[in-house]
Amino acid sequence: MGIFAFSAPDPCNAFITRIPEAEYGDGKLAGVSIAVKDNISTKGIPTTCGSKILEGYIPPYDAHVVELLRAEGAAIVGKTNMDEFGMGTTTENSAYGPTLNPADRERVPGGSSGGSAAAVASGMVAMALGTDTGGSIRCPAAFCGIVGMKPTYGRVSRYGLVAYANSLEQIGPMAANVPDISLLLQVLTCHDPRDSTSITAPYTHTPDPDIHGLKVGVPEEYFGKGVDPRVASIVWEGISLLERLGAEIITCRMPSMDYALAAYYVTCMSEASSNLARFDGVRYGPPADPKKQWHESFQERRRDGFGKEVRRRVMLGTFALSSGYYGKYYAKAQSARRNVAADFSRLFSEVDVLAGPTMPTIAFRVGEKSDPLSMYLSDILTVPANLAGVPAISVPCGKVDGMPVGLQIMGRWCADERVIDVAYAFEEGVSA
């Protein structure tokens, strides 16, 4: 065992908890500094989910992914800031203050894994873990100019992840380059019987930049309304590079995009309303007032402990699941979700991967997006992959006004290796 001294300054507020002297051992990640998003359980280290309601909570166990990191000798140097319970696109919705973008500290880093992205982008750590429910790895990766990947749903265990929306979320790697993403994915993809959604599909791949003959589909909807023309232009340049590297570019249609965002938000809010019911002031965090009636202290604890965005999503989710409205909202959302999956299945019978922008704009200025609906619309290009459970990666492809732009590459279910190869080919092509 060794000790990794971690004393880097944190001007972007990337961390909630820092470990000044982190232990490391032998293995694939021996001595590598890694940050862990603060909704992933770490034994003996506070895990807050960016919320006051979990203030002071110290898990008695490690998440499966943390066990794997420790087994391979990684130095876990701290827990990163995040939108409370993963609900946000900017990492402004944190009880511990907003995280700032290292590329421009007047702008947001994206969310909800903004702390992990900022820690990597600023060089504080070599790699980080994030979680992705509707783009929460890929969005901050794009905004901060790093690489971030949402693996196939089930390929990385969610045991020890504080649940927000079980059927959508996935733990994934964030790093400065594609080979590091591949290395971290090798460590993370280990079947876990404690997670009923975990599949047996170890990743043992070495990135291959040869993409000659590969068919890359480009959905027209990924360049539609709301996408900044400057971002679209930069991404098309990136797609043209893939063509010069030997890929065949095929434009295609994805009609289900019209309903994907609505289906996503009804689904994730409904699941959140169920998952967050456990935070009652009895089992976790600061206790409720025992002198008051239970329902009064329960209500008070949740009102004071949850931030505005969390309360909004819990209430909307509860409404969508309530008697008389379940069929109008939740059931229809699941029907739309199946249509999204069917679109992916159809497209992947014709092409090998899909490509387009990760985010429709560059990073917003801090405080710029005060309207919840406009914030939700920012997720339009990332949520389809979560609805279908397919792998998706964001890789830097240029800048607009000095701010990073991400190219998103999506693959068929369990074809994470091919997604990695295309991203690696692009990364190598840019640096050539």
- pLDDT > 80? residue 69: yes
Spell out the alpha helix ranges (H) of 278-329: 294-305, 308-321
Instruction: Tell whether omega for the bond before 112 is within 30 degrees of 0, i.e. cis.
Output: yes
Task: Say yes or no to pLDDT of 16 above 80.
Answer: yes
Kindly state the percentage of the chain with pLDDT values over 70.
100
- Closest residue by Cα to residue 89 from 155, 133, 145, 35: 133
Does the pLDDT at position 299 exceed 90?
no
Residue 221: predicted pLDDT: 97
The residue from 33, 51, 122, 136 that is catalytic is 136
Report the greatest alpha carbon distance in the chain: 71
Instruction: Round to whole Å and give the CA distance between 224 and 155.
Output: 31
Tens of pLDDT, residue by residue over 155-186, are 999 999 998 999 999 999 999 999 999 999 99
Structure tokens at 1: 């065992």
pLDDT at 291: 80
Cα gap 26→49, rounded to integer Å: 29
Q: Is 225 a catalytic residue?
A: no
The whole-number pLDDT of residue 373 equals: 87
Catalytic residue among 41, 51, 94, 112: 112
Would you place residue 370 in the very low, low, confident or very high pLDDT band (cuts 50, 70, 90)? confident
Q: What is the DSSP string of 91-118?
A: S-S-TT----BTTBTTB---SSSHHHHH
pLDDT band, residue 114 (cuts 50/70/90): very high
37 labelled catalytic? yes
Would you state the pLDDT for residue 293?
Answer: 78
Scanning 44-160, the segments in alpha helix (DSSP H) are 64-71, 114-121, 138-144
147: part of which helix (H) or strand (E)? Answer: strand 147-150
Task: Kindly report the pTM of this predicted structure.
Answer: 0.97
Examine the pLDDT at 136 and tell me if it is beyond 80: yes
What's 213-270 look like in SS3?
CCEEEEEHHHHCCCCCHHHHHHHHHHHHHHHHCCCEEEEECCCCHHHHHHHHHHHHHH
**Residues 38/17, Cβ–Cβ less than 8 Å:** yes
Pairing of strands 215-219, 353-357: parallel
Partnered with residue 252 across adjacent β-strands are 219
- Cα–Cα distances (Å) from 67 to 41, 62, 79, 147, 201, in that order, read 10, 6, 15, 23, 18
Amino acid 301: pLDDT: 78
User: Using one digit for the tens of pLDDT, what is the confidence trace for 321-366?
Assistant: 988 888 889 999 999 999 999 999 999 999 999 999 999 999 999 9
pLDDT band at residue 395 under the 50/70/90 scheme: very high
Q: What pLDDT does 31 receive? A: 95
Checking if the pLDDT of 70 tops 90, the result is yes
Q: pLDDT value at position 322?
A: 87
Spatial separation of the C-alpha atoms in residues 41 and 64, rounded to whole Å: 9
- 37, 52, 79, 369: the catalytic one is 37
Distance CA 235, CA 114 (A): 22
The pLDDT confidence band at residue 390, using thresholds 50, 70 and 90, is very high
Distance CA 383, CA 393 (A): 13
Summarize pLDDT for 244-298 with one digit per residue, the tens. Answer: 999 999 999 999 999 999 999 999 999 999 999 888 777 776 777 778 777 777 7
Question: If we measure between CA atoms, which residue out of 68, 64, 45 comes closest to residue 56?
Answer: 45
**What pLDDT was estimated at residue 298?**
72
Give the separation between CA 120 and CA 128, rounded to whole angstroms: 7
Mean pLDDT of 109-128: 98
